[in-house]
């Protein structure tokens, strides 16, 4: 099958080309906002929305934008939807807005976005482009969530703000500090690499 279905496009970002664990893109929010599961999911969904909306618009306008001015146009489109998310979060919850802080605005500079617009949306019709982008977004959310859970459990003894271990738990504070982000990310990368290695060995072992 040469043309991937929309569902394949969607799955691409979640697993095969997971932006965090496979492509290792967008590390700034990955390390900065993953101190809790809720922050991680909110950041992931905000990025997913920006990805989906900007890739849809880029794809719709792909014939109208000459390649000489494409980067400027893509950045403008991405910045627009980041502004949309910024205002929307202010309207939904100020606590969340404070928790995510400058990182909402920094979605503009997330390389997953320009990467998707340039590598996929600019060359594909709106539907597959949007599916691919949303898949990437969910893959990103999943990655953030995986890191956020571990950091919140170890660093605060909680998950989704609910205390897990009772009064006597001594939080492992470094996990909610910046170094903890690096530790947990490294841990997950090791898990993914080990899994890939196991898979490729198994494929080699099967007689064809």
Partner 1 sequence: MSDTKEKQTSSFEMVRALGLVSVICGIIIVGIYQFTLPAADANRKLALERQVFKILPDAKNVVTYYATGKGIIAAQGHDKPPSDAVVFYAVYDSAKKLMGIAAEASSAGYADQVRVLYAYDPEKQVITGIGVISMRETPGIGDRILTDKAFLENFAALDVHLSADLQSLANAVKTVKHGTRSGLWQIDAISGATVTSKAVGRGINESAQALLPRLLPQLDKLRKAS
Interaction site with partner 1 (CB under 8 A): 57, 61, 64-69, 72-73, 76-77, 79-81, 83-84, 87-88, 90-95, 98, 101, 155-156, 171, 173, 176-177
> Which C-beta is closer to partner 1: that of 27 or that of 75?
75
Cα separations (Å) of 187 from 26, 95, 181, 190? 17, 30, 10, 5
> Which C-beta is closer to partner 1: that of 20 or that of 58?
58
Per-residue tokens: 144: 């953030």
> Which C-beta is closer to partner 1: that of 101 or that of 187?
101
> Which C-beta is closer to partner 1: that of 92 or that of 186?
92
CB of 92 to partner 1, least distance (A): 8
Number of residues assigned to the chain: 208
Please report which helix (H) or strand (E) contains residue 162, including its range: strand 162-163
Query: CA angle at residue 179 from 174 to 184, to 5 degrees?
Result: 90
CB of 190 to partner 1, least distance (A): 26
CB of 159 to partner 1, least distance (A): 16
CB of 30 to partner 1, least distance (A): 18
> Which C-beta is closer to partner 1: that of 23 or that of 84?
84
* Axis crossing angle, helix 70-92 with helix 37-60, rounded to the nearest 10: 140
Q: How far apart are CA 119 and CA 75, in angstroms?
A: 14
CB of 57 to partner 1, least distance (A): 7
Per-residue tokens: 142: 């999943």
Burial of 17 (0-12, 13-18, 19+ CB in 10 A): middle
> Which C-beta is closer to partner 1: that of 66 or that of 205?
66
Comparing C-alpha atoms, which of 178, 32, 26 is closest to residue 102? 32
Q: How far apart are CA 203 and CA 183, in angstroms?
A: 30
């Amino acid at each position: 099958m040469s043309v991937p279905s929309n569902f394949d496009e969607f799955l691409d970002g979640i697993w095969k080309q997971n932006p965090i664990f496979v492509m290792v893109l967008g590390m700034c929010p990955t390390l900065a906002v993953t101190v809790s599961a809720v922050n991680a999911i909110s950041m992931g969904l905000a990025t997913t929305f920006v990805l989906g909306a900007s890739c849809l618009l880029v794809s719709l306008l792909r014939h109208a934008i000459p390649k000489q001015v494409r980067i400027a146009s893509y950045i403008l489109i991405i910045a627009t939807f980041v502004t949309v998310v910024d205002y929307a979060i202010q309207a939904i919850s100020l606590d969340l807005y404070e928790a995510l802080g400058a990182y909402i605005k920094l979605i503009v500079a997330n390389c997953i976005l320009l990467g998707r617009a340039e590598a996929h949306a600019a060359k594909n019709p709106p539907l597959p482009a949007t599916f691919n982008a949303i898949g990437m977004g969910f893959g990103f959310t999943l990655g953030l969530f995986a890191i956020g859970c571990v950091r919140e459990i170890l660093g605060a003894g909680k998950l989704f703000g609910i205390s897990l271990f009772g009064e006597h738990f001594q939080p492992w504070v470094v996990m909610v500090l910046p170094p903890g982000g690096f530790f947990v990310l490294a841990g997950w990368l090791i898990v993914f690499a080990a899994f890939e290695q196991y898979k490729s060995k198994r494929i080699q072992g099967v007689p064809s």
